[in-house]
């Protein structure tokens, strides 16, 4: 009951005209950013973050904008996946598997409308999940002391290493690099300057926006240089534009199952939309057995990853809002945005800033409806965006990134630092280090050190405090499990290989 009251209050915030406008704008921009190959939700949020500041938006409006962009990207990623066979963002890789064959069979209109509805159902189920579980978790999270927080963050990073899978060492290294970048600047407890190399511009630490834009936008520009695919034509959307009832009921339970699974995966800190869509696609394929035509244009293979990636995007807001620990790269950026507004996400957020939290949750419902309404009739318009040539698109991204960074401090140093980080990020990406782990590390860095030192101050330096409470013991056990997963998988793969050889 209490939750419902808060939700009504949230709707009141979200339906203010300026917030509705912002949600509409964010959904539109998000869809475009999402459908452009290479640009994902992190880029979208990173590009709009400076804008939110420039406009002087209040925190709840800024968050609504960013959340709308996030959801919009998950909607948009499927358009290029279906029409071009190029995933618009990483989570849409699975959508290409069945979406593109469908488009080749002349069913592009059906594929696009059905995937829009799957996205809608996925987000809606997950948003209901957020309404139900976020307040519970927030209440529970108040019991977390600094020691528990520290262990929780270790768990979040271990989750990344365990879930992202094939490259656990590189993932953990990327997270460590992020953590290390966060130590640059004046130490908040003692006032000692660390790794500033005598530079005044670094004494404040490396600005969050510079890191995000450098690592994601600038390195993306360099990557796009290699994949300037020319001559690839989008499949024309012809034939029937809307799915029929039979197709909908055929995929309905797939959507529901995938949405629930995607939501759960999204809630886990560290594991994001990409993993959710891959896992649900695989399990639907297994469930369908030989009756499915997965990979050749099965509607279920289209509905599952789309429902899952939107559900996990909404689910990843839970750890962000309740614990202050991001569930995905994009929510890591959103936490950074909140801290720029001097709001620390965490259990107290629900009590201190109910307008922000519930406004955001209500805006998810509204944003979803906007996106669904926008996506079905306007899909042709969005598809035309795919023909914007790179020689216009890339300079525009570059210039907007520059403005975004320049707006923070107005120094050339920041711009050069951004380019430097971008080149470094490009090298890391070429070497297959996942950058979302790095950004997660960077966001958690300061929190992690603060909590560790606070915990040890309480215990006067006794390390035992880190594993004295039941909560932290459970978290340590989960961490060990997560770290053990890659080893287990490796061992399993080796054993099956040996059996196969024998």
453 binds another protein (CB under 8 A): yes
Among 423, 471, 473, 481, binds another protein (CB under 8 A): 423
Residue 463: exposure state from Cβ atoms within 10 A (0-12, 13-18, ≥19):
exposed
Give least dist CB 52 to another protein, A. Answer: 10
489 binds another protein (CB under 8 A): no
Applying CB under 8 A, the site for another protein has a residue count of 63
Nearest-5° Cα angle at 195, 194 to 200: 85
Question: Does residue 279 contact residue 325 with C-beta atoms inside 8 Å?
Answer: no
418 binds another protein (CB under 8 A): yes
Residue 248: exposure state from Cβ atoms within 10 A (0-12, 13-18, ≥19):
middle
φ, ψ for residue 186, nearest 5 deg: -75, 135
Give least dist CB 53 to another protein, A. Answer: 9
Query: Where do the H-state alpha helices sit in 55-105?
Result: 59-84, 93-104
- Residue span binding another protein (CB under 8 A) among the ranges 31-39, 65-73, 380-388, 427-435: 427-435
Question: Does residue 99 contact residue 111 with C-beta atoms inside 8 Å?
Answer: yes
Query: Where do the H-state alpha helices sit in 341-434?
Result: 349-352, 354-375, 379-385, 390-409, 412-430
296 binds another protein (CB under 8 A): no
391 binds another protein (CB under 8 A): yes
Closest to another protein by CB, 166 vs 351, is: 166
Q: Can you tell me whether residue 194 is helix, strand or coil?
A: strand
Site for another protein in 64-103 (CB under 8 A): none
Nearest to 266 by CA among 199, 327, 324: 327
Among 111, 154, 212, 224, binds another protein (CB under 8 A): 224
Give least dist CB 388 to another protein, A. Answer: 11
- Please state the separation of Cα 14 from the chain's center in Å: 22
464 binds another protein (CB under 8 A): no
456 binds another protein (CB under 8 A): yes
449 binds another protein (CB under 8 A): yes
Give least dist CB 166 to another protein, A. Answer: 9
Closest to another protein by CB, 75 vs 426, is: 426
Site for another protein in 96-155 (CB under 8 A): none
2 binds another protein (CB under 8 A): no
DSSP 235: P
Among 399, 474, 477, 488, binds another protein (CB under 8 A): 399
Give least dist CB 19 to another protein, A. Answer: 18
Residue 343: exposure state from Cβ atoms within 10 A (0-12, 13-18, ≥19):
middle
388 binds another protein (CB under 8 A): no
Give least dist CB 47 to another protein, A. Answer: 13
484 binds another protein (CB under 8 A): no
Site for another protein in 315-334 (CB under 8 A): none
Helix (H) or strand (E) holding 442: helix 435-458
Closest to another protein by CB, 216 vs 358, is: 216
Question: Does residue 214 contact residue 417 with C-beta atoms inside 8 Å?
Answer: yes
Closest to another protein by CB, 104 vs 170, is: 170
Among 176, 287, 288, 385, binds another protein (CB under 8 A): 176
Nearest to 353 by CA among 364, 365, 341: 341
394 binds another protein (CB under 8 A): yes
Give least dist CB 288 to another protein, A. Answer: 32
Q: Cβ contacts of residue 245 below 8 Å, gap of 6+?
A: none
Q: Site mask, another protein, residues 227-256, x = CB under 8 A?
A: -x-x--------------------------
Q: Cβ contacts of residue 271 below 8 Å, gap of 6+?
A: 159, 160, 163, 164, 265, 312, 327, 328
Closest to another protein by CB, 2 vs 226, is: 226
Nearest to 332 by CA among 458, 154, 178: 178
* Dihedral sign from CA coordinates of 68, 264, 294, 500: positive
Among 10, 50, 99, 266, binds another protein (CB under 8 A): 50
430 binds another protein (CB under 8 A): yes
Task: Kindly state the greatest CA–CA separation across the chain.
Answer: 72
Give least dist CB 55 to another protein, A. Answer: 6
The residues that bridge with 281 in the sheet, in sequence order, are none
Q: Which residues bind another protein (CB under 8 A)?
A: 50-51, 54-55, 167, 169-170, 172-173, 176-177, 179-180, 183, 187, 189-192, 194-195, 218, 221-222, 224-226, 228, 230, 389-392, 394-396, 398-400, 402-403, 406-407, 410, 412, 415-416, 418-419, 422-423, 426-427, 430-432, 449, 452-453, 456-457, 460-461
């Amino acid at each position: 009951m209490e939750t419902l009251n808060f939700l009504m209050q949230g709707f009141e915030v979200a339906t203010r005209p300026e917030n509705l406008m912002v949600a509409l704008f964010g959904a539109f921009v998000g869809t475009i950013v999402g459908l452009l190959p290479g640009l994902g939700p992190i880029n979208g949020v990173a590009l709009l973050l400076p804008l939110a500041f420039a406009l002087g938006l209040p925190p709840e409006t800024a968050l609504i904008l960013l959340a709308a962009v996030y959801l919009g990207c998950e909607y948009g990623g499927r358009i290029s996946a279906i029409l071009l066979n190029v995933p618009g963002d990483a989570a849409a890789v699975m959508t290409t598997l069945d979406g593109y064959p469908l488009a080749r069979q002349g069913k592009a209109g059906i594929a696009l409308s059905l995937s829009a509805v799957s996205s809608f159902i996925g987000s809606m189920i997950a948003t209901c999940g957020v309404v139900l579980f976020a307040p519970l978790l927030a209440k529970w999270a108040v019991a977390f002391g600094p020691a528990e927080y520290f262990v929780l963050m270790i768990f979040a990073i271990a989750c990344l290493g365990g879930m992202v899978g094939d490259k656990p060492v590189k993932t953990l290294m990327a997270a460590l690099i992020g953590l290390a970048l966060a130590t640059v600047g004046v130490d908040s407890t003692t006032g000692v300057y660390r790794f500033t190399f005598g530079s005044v511009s670094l004494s404040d630490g490396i600005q969050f926006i510079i890191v995000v834009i450098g690592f994601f936008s600038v390195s993306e520009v360099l990557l796009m240089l290699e994949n300037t695919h020319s001559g690839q034509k989008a499949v024309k959307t012809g034939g029937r534009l809307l799915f029929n009832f039979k197709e909908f009921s055929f995929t309905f339970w797939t959507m529901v199952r995938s949405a629930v699974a995607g939501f759960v995966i999204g809630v886990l800190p560290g594991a994001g939309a990409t993993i959710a869509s891959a896992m649900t696609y695989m399990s639907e394929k297994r469930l369908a057995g030989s009756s499915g035509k997965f990979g050749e244009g099965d509607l279920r293979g289209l509905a599952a990853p789309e429902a899952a990636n939107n559900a996990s995007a909404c689910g990843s807001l839970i750890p962000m809002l309740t614990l202050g620990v991001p569930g995905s790269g994009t929510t890591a950026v959103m936490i950074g945005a909140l801290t720029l507004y001097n709001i620390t996400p965490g259990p107290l957020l629900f009590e201190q800033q109910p307008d922000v939290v519930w406004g955001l949750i209500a805006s998810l419902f509204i944003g979803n409806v906007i996106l669904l309404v926008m996506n079905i009739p306007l899909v042709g318009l969005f598809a035309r965006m795919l023909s914007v040539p790179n020689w216009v698109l890339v300079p525009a991204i570059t210039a907007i990134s520059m403005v975004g960074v320049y707006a923070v401090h107005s120094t050339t140093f920041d711009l050069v630092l951004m380019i430097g980080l971008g080149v470094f990020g490009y090298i890391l990406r070429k070497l297959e280090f996942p950058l979302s782990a790095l950004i997660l590390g960077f966001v958690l860095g300061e929190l992690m050190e603060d909590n560790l030192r606070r915990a040890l101050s309480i215990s006067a330096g006794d390390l035992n405090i880190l594993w004295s409470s039941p909560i932290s013991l459970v978290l340590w056990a989960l961490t060990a499990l997560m770290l053990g997963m890659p080893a287990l998988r490796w061992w399993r793969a080796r054993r099956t290989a040996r059996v196969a050889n024998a």
